[in-house]
Amino acid sequence: MAVALLYLYYERESSELVRQSANKARAISFAVGRELVGIETVLLAMAGSSNLLAGDLEAFDPQAREIVRGQRIANILLVDLHGQQLINTRAKPGEPLGMHGDPELVKNVVATRRPVISGLFIGTVTKRPLVSVGVPVLRGDEVLYVLTASILPERIGEIFIQQQVDDEEAVGVLDGTGTVVARSQDGEANIGLVASRLVTDAIKVSEQGVLAFTTADGDGAQFVYNRSPRTGWTSYIILTDERLRRNFWRILGMLMAATAMSLTAALGMAWVIGGHITRTIKALGPPALALGSGKPLAVPHLPILEVNDVGQSIVKASEILNVATSALRTGEARMRAILESAMDAIITLDDKQTIVLFNSAAARVFECPAEQAIGSPITRFIPERFHARHHDYVGKSRERTEVFGEPEIAAGLRHGHEEFPVEVSYSHVVESGAIFHTLIIRDVTARERALAALERSNQDLQQFAYVASHDLKTPLRSINGFVQVLAKNYADKLDEKAVLLIQRTQDAARRLEQLTDDLLLYARISSEAKPFARVDCAEVVQEVIQLLDAAINNSGAVITVEKLPSLPGDRTQLVQLFLNLISNGIKYCRDRTPVIHVSAIQDDQNWIFSVQDNGIGIDSKHHGRIFEVFKRLHTQQEYPGTGIGLSVCRRVIDRHRGKLWLTSVVGQGSTFKFSIPKATVEGPST
C-alpha cells in the first residue's frame, strides 16, 4: 500500500510540477509581453514628436538620446522606408550610419503601418544579438520613417529573476520565429539557436502545451510552453525526468524518514506500554499460583481494565474452586468411609492390572495388608486357572457401559496357595484417558459350605421320604388286605362297633396308601428325573384328559384347550403338572359343573400357561402356603387330598426354571399360571 500510495503521490506531484511550470511559463510570457509593449508605447509617443513630423532630425536626435538614457533600451534607430539609418542613438556624432540590422522588421512596419516586434538579429553597431520593436512614423496615412528600439536579451533574462526562476530550472523564451531569445541556463551559448521542428510546429498549433522529448543525454524530458498571442513569443520550461526522479527520491526519503521516525516512536511506546502490561499481568502470578490452595485470595486493583477483570475472575474462580474442593474432600472422605466399611473386598487396578486400591475388607479376605498388595499384580490373588477368565472379564468390562458386571463365581488365592470361593463383579472407569478396573469380591466360603450342607441334608431327606414311602407300601398293603379279610370273613361274628372300627381302619389305611403314593411321587421328581426333550404340550394335556376320564364323567366337567406349544422339558413331569392343576380344578368346585380352560401365551423368553377354573377360589392370604408340602385348606370330609399336589407342581416348575403363581377370586374361580423358558435351561435336580 505504501508503494502504491507513493506512486500515486509521485504521479500527482509530477502533474502538479507540470501545472506549476505551465503557470510559470504563462507568467514569463506575460512579463515579456509587458516589457515589449512598454517599449512600443515609448516609441509610439516618440513617433508623434513634432520635430520628427517636421523632418527636423537634428532636433529629434538629442531627444532620442535623452530617452534612451532614461529607458533600459540598447538603442533607438530612425530609419527611412528602405532601412537606411537616419539616427542611431549609439552612434557617435558624424559617424556614418549603415542599414538597419533587421530589414524584415522595417519592411513589415512599412507594410502593416502598425507596430511590429522583431525576431533576434545581430545589431549592426553593437554586433550583439538584439531584439527590436518597430513603429511607423505617420503623417496622415503616409509612412515617413520607421522608429525602432532594441533591447539586449539579458533584459529578458532579468525577467526570469523577477519570476523567481531557480538555477535548476531550464527556462527560456523563443521569438516569433522560434529562435531562442533568452535562457536561464547557459544563456549566451544558446541564444540565436532555432528550436527544433517539433517545437516550432507545436507552438504554431496551440498557445500552450506540453511536449515529451528525449534530451541529448538520452534522458526523457517535457517541454512546457506558453505562447503570447500579442507578441507571438513563447516562454518555455524544460522539466527533465531526472528532475522528476529527484523529486521522487526526495519524497521517498522524506517518507522513509517519517516512517522510521514513527516506527521508532511506536516501538518506544510499545516498549513502554508492553512493560506496563507485563508488570500488571505479573501481578496476577501469585494469586493464580495460590488458586486451589484453599486460602481466600485477594487481588489488588490493577491499572489495566482487562487485567483487572482477569484478576477479579481469578478471585471468583478461587471461591468456586474452594467450594468444589471442600465438596470433593467431603465426597472423598465419604467414599473412603464406604470403601473401608464395605463388607466386600474392593480392589482397583490400573490398565496394567496393577493394584492401586485395596480396601480393608480386601486385606481381611486375602489376609494381606494393603501396603503389600498395592503396586503388585492382581494375578497374585487369582488361581492360575482363572487368569484367562479374569483377562476376559477385564476386556469385557472395558466394552460395557453399565457400571457393574454380573457377579461371577470364581476362586481367590490366599498366601499364594490357599484357594477359596468368591463372587466377583467387574466395572471400569476412564479417568483422564486412563482406564481403571474395579473388582468387588465377596468371600462366599461360608455360603458355599452352608449350601453344600443343605444339599446334603435335602438329599438325605429325599432318600428318607423315598425309602419310607416305598418301604411303607408293602406293610400297608398287608394291613389293608388283612382288614378286608377280617371284614369279609368275620362279619357275622363281629358286633356293629367292631365292623365300624374295621371300616375306619380300612379308610385310614387307604388314606395312608394314598399319602405314601403321593410322597413317593414327590421324591421321584428329582430321583427319577429324565433329561429334557422336546415335549408337545397339546399332547400332554390330551393325555391328562384321558387319565382324568372318570372324574370328568362323574362331574360333567367341561375342559377347553387352546393351541399349546412344544418346548424342552421332562414329559412325565409335565403330565404330572397338568394332571395336578386340572384335577384340582375339577375337585375344588363344590356343586357347580367344573369349566376348565387351558391356554398359553408367550413373551420374549417364556411360554406362560394358564389353567383357569370356575371353582371355589382361594383367598389371597393362602396363596403362599398352598404350594408347601402337606398344606391343605380343607378337611378330608370337605375335599379329600394329601396336600402334596401343588408342591409337586412347584418342584416340576423349579426344575424347568420357571415360575408358578395364581390369581383367584373367592367363590368365582382360580387361575394357576406358570412360565417355562422357550430354550433349554435345566434347573437344579434337587
Is residue 615 at the binding interface for ligand ADP, with CB under 6 A as the rule? yes
Stretch of residues binding ligand ADP (CB under 6 A), selected from 149-157, 330-338, 378-386, 634-642: 634-642
Task: Rule CB under 6 A: say whether 516 interacts with ligand ADP.
Answer: no
Nearest-approach distance from CB 678 to ligand ADP, in angstroms: 27
Alpha-carbon Rg for the chain, nearest whole angstrom, is 71
Read off the DSSP letter of residue 84. Answer: B
What would the 3-class secondary structure string for 514-549 be? HHHHHHHHHHHHHHCCCCCEEEEHHHHHHHHHHHCH
Closest approach of Cβ 519 to ligand ADP, in Å? 12
Choose which of 87, 297, 557, 616 interacts with ligand ADP (CB under 6 A): 616
Q: Give the residue with the Cβ less far from ligand ADP, 592 or 659.
A: 592
Interface with ligand ADP includes 33 (CB under 6 A)? no
Query: Is residue 618 close enough to count as binding ligand ADP by CB under 6 A?
Result: yes
Stretch that binds ligand ADP, among 370-378, 429-437, 473-481, 584-592 (CB under 6 A): 584-592
3-state SS, 46-63, equals HHCCHHHHHCCHHHHHHH
Can you give the three-state secondary structure of 618-675, one letter per residue? CCHHHCCHHHCCCCCCCCCCCCCCCCCHHHHHHHHHHHCCCEEEEEEECCCEEEEEEE
Cβ 399 to ligand ADP shortest distance, Å:
48
Q: Which is nearer to ligand ADP, 307 or 519 (CB)?
A: 519
Tell me which residues in 64-123 interact with ligand ADP (CB under 6 A): none
Residue 598, H or E segment: strand 595-602
Q: Measured from the CB of residue 367, what is the shortest distance to ligand ADP in angstroms? A: 50
Q: Does position 157 bind ligand ADP by CB under 6 A?
A: no
Long-range Cβ pairs for the range 385-393 (8 Å, 24+)? 386/410, 386/411, 393/424, 393/426
User: Does residue 521 belong to the site contacting ligand ADP (CB under 6 A)?
Assistant: no
Find the part of the chain contacting ligand ADP (CB under 6 A) among 128-136, 427-435, 453-461, 632-640.
632-640
Does residue 613 bind ligand ADP (CB under 6 A)?
A: yes
Q: Rank residues 518 and 570 by Cβ distance to ligand ADP and give the closer one.
A: 518
The Cα–Cα gap between 22 and 34 comes to: 18
Q: Does 598 bind ligand ADP (CB under 6 A)?
A: no
Interface residue with ligand ADP, options 645, 650, 656, 658 (CB under 6 A):
645
User: Using CB under 6 A, which of 568, 643, 677, 683 touches ligand ADP?
Assistant: 643
CA-to-CA separations, 129 to 187, 192, 236, in angstroms, rounded: 12, 8, 20
Sequence-separated (6 or more) residues with CB below 8 Å from residue 21:
224, 237, 239
Spatial separation of the C-alpha atoms in residues 90 and 94, rounded to whole Å: 12
Side-chain-side CA neighbours of residue 162 (13 Å)? 14
Q: Please state, in angstroms and rounded to a whole number, the distance separating the CA atoms of residues 77 and 96.
A: 13
Looking up cell 391328562, which residue turns up? 544
Q: Note whether 220 binds ligand ADP by CB under 6 A.
A: no
588 binds ligand ADP (CB under 6 A): yes
Which distant-in-sequence residues (6+ apart) come within 8 Å of 203 by Cβ?
174, 178, 195, 225, 227, 234
Interacting stretch for ligand ADP, rule CB under 6 A, among 14-22, 332-340, 405-413, 581-589?
581-589
Q: Which helix (H) or strand (E) holds 457?
A: helix 445-489
Comparing CB distances to ligand ADP, the nearer of 441 and 596 is 596
Count of C-beta atoms within a 10 Å radius of residue 576: 22
Among the candidate windows 83-91, 108-116, 448-456, 637-645, which touches ligand ADP by CB under 6 A? 637-645
User: Residue 589 Cβ, how far from ligand ADP at the closest point, in Å?
Assistant: 8
CB of 676 to ligand ADP, least distance (A): 19
Candidate ranges 20-28, 50-58, 159-167, 635-643; the one touching ligand ADP (CB under 6 A):
635-643
Find the shortest distance in angstroms from Cβ 616 to ligand ADP: 5
Among 302, 368, 646, 653, binds ligand ADP (CB under 6 A): 646
Residue 235: C-alpha distances to residues 73, 102, 181, 203, 371 (Å)? 21, 22, 10, 10, 112
**Residue 573 binds to ligand ADP (criterion: CB under 6 A):** no
Q: Quote helix, strand, coil % in the chain, to nearest 5.
A: 50, 25, 25
**Does residue 515 belong to the site contacting ligand ADP (CB under 6 A)?**
no
3 state DSSP class of 73? coil
Q: Which is nearer to ligand ADP, 517 or 682 (CB)?
A: 517
153 part of the interface to ligand ADP, by CB under 6 A? no
The three cell numbers locating residue 350: 490400573
Using rule CB under 6 A, residue 277 touches ligand ADP:
no
Coil, strand, or helix at residue 391? helix
The nearer residue to ligand ADP, 372 or 668, going by C-beta atoms, is: 668
Q: How far apart are CA 162 and CA 327, in angstroms?
A: 96
User: What are the phi and psi torsion angles at 661 (to 5°)?
Assistant: -155, 175
Residue 590 as a binder of ligand ADP (CB under 6 A): the answer is no
Residues 647 to 666: which contact ligand ADP by CB under 6 A? 647
Q: Which stretch binds ligand ADP (CB under 6 A): 95-103, 239-247, 358-366, 631-639?
A: 631-639
d(CA 263, CA 275): 18
Name which of 151 and 616 has its Cβ closer to ligand ADP. 616
Alpha carbon dihedral 306, 312, 314, 315, in 10-degree steps, equals 170
Concatenated DSSP letters of 19-44? HHHHHHHHHHHHHHHHHHHHHHHHHH
If binding is defined by CB under 6 A, does position 476 make contact with ligand ADP? no
| Residue closer to ligand ADP (CB basis): 432 or 635 | 635
- What would the x/- binding string for ligand ADP be over residues 665 to 684, using CB under 6 A? -----x--------------
Residue 372 CB, shortest distance to ligand ADP, in Å, is 58
Binding-site member from 82, 634, 666, 685 for ligand ADP (CB under 6 A): 634
List 642, 651, 658, 675, residue binding ligand ADP (CB under 6 A) = 642
Which part of the chain contacts ligand ADP (CB under 6 A), choosing from 300-308, 411-419, 526-534, 612-620?
A: 612-620
Nearer to ligand ADP, 136 or 617 (CB): 617
Please name the residues in contact with 246: beta carbons below 8 A apart, sequence gap of 6 or more: none
Please report the sign of the dihedral spanned by the C-alpha atoms of residue 509, residue 511, residue 515, residue 520: positive
Minimum gap (Å) between residue 554 Cβ and ligand ADP = 16
What is residue 115's DSSP assignment? -
Residue appearing with cell numbers 465419604:
334
The reply to whether 147 sits near ligand ADP by the rule CB under 6 A is no
Examine residue 525 and tell whether it contacts ligand ADP (CB under 6 A).
Answer: no
Per CB under 6 A, the segment of 69-77, 125-133, 389-397, 625-633 that binds ligand ADP is 625-633
Using CB under 6 A, which residues numbered 388 to 417 contact ligand ADP? none
Residues near ligand ADP (CB under 6 A) are 580, 584-585, 588, 613, 615-616, 618, 626, 632-634, 641-647, 670
